[in-house]
Structure 1
Amino acid sequence: MTETLFPSPAWPVLPVEGQTGSYPVHRIFCVGRNYAAHAAEMGAEVTRDQPMFFTKSALAFLPSGRHSAYPPGTSDYHFEVELCVMLGQPLFQADEATAAAAVYGYAVGLDMTRRDLQARAKDARQPWDMAKDVEESAVIAAVTPAAQFGGLDGKRIRLLQNGEVRQDSALSDMVWSVPELLSRLSGLYHLAPGDVLMTGTPAGVGPVAVGDRLVGEVDGLAPVSVTYTDPE
């Protein structure tokens, strides 16, 4: 193996509830418009034709509980709380049952978004990369193994901004279920252990300001949190 010209960052890792080993984060896949009420508040409609996938780099990851500088290039940085699904087995062109069995665990995440840049991209029919793949924009909490979590039925997802509830919905409100999403995504990629799927956000998204503390919650999972500081 040849020597690299400069140091390469290591894969980020997440703690796992009740275990000493860590979960390595490889690729981060995201889903847009997976809650009808959120799609409506953004002026869009949902369809059952094909989930809308996009990606964030693993280098956009930020562990829960940290401080994060308000990012450059935006004056409208929005929170989006999401259920994250962690794969533990390879998947390719999988049916829904196989996809469901490949889930290692779940976590709560924040898909932070430069909303003003996203709006400009939409208007110009351009990609969302600069709006979504932002440094420290994938804030993810500790992973809970799937068997310990016990399934999505009857569980809620919410976000608090400085202690005030901004987003609150049932996980059952997702347009596409977790097995459906993984099955469809496995038709586009050779998925592998370490891949993370952020499953979309409910209605109530909004901007953050310097000094704000965000806390995302899903019943049965460790909460995610982040506090925003002055821009660098």
Structure 2
Amino acid sequence: MAEVARLESVPPDGDFFHELGADSLLMAHFCAKVRKQPGMPPVSMKDVYQHPTIRSLSGALTASTTLTAPTTGPSRDEPRASPEPSFDVPVHEAPATGTAGLGRPHVVLCGLFQLLSFLGYALLIAAIVTRGYEWIAAGHDPVDDYLRSLAFGAVVLALLCTLPIAVKWLLIGRWKPERIRVWSFGYMRFWLVKTLLRANPLVLTVGTPLYSLYLRALGAHVGRGVTVLSRTVPVCTDLLSIGDHT
């Protein structure tokens, strides 16, 4: 496990996902390496999710091997079989503080960041709406009120459409192929950009040339005559490339 996760050591009670920062892809690689080891039992992703620590996984595999082993001994006429190899998963004893994984403090910090992001966004919208209402109410007549309402609505729409794009370029710049640990600072930036992009009103323009322009503004390479019909908004747009007339 330490080799797969690129850690110096792995605590026996460290959670693969919450404390060691592993993901499903890394654990699938771990299962494949275990299956290639001679004398080791097959490990599935189901086993990993049900027993997310080295100690619990080792105990579960040992118990399952014991249950499937034959209970009757050999007869007198049969040669005695050699002892079965041990199926215990090797455990590297190390204190949890010595690992490079992301533990509960990162989970709490990430949750706090997400909560503050929601509150900040709500306060921003509330402040804009309040100022807009005061400005519209200061109109001199119904026609003036109507024109002010149109102007305010246009400004708010433009702000909602351009804010996610600005945040993406400010926090991320250009996306590059990389692995992002869950609950890390990079994950917080990824989550914030993803949330804003999917809340963008321009998502409603799917299937129109305007949506292609939106993707280009986010850094995607979109060719001429492209029509995008998928409602799933890509997040790492700089890694997206669509050929002409697609």
Same fold? TM cut 0.5: no
More helix, by proportion = 2
Highest RCO, 1 vs 2 (Cα 8 Å, sep ≥ 6): 1
TM-score, scaled relative to structure 1: 0.20
Higher strand share: 1
What TM-score, normalized by structure 2, do the two folds share?
Answer: 0.19
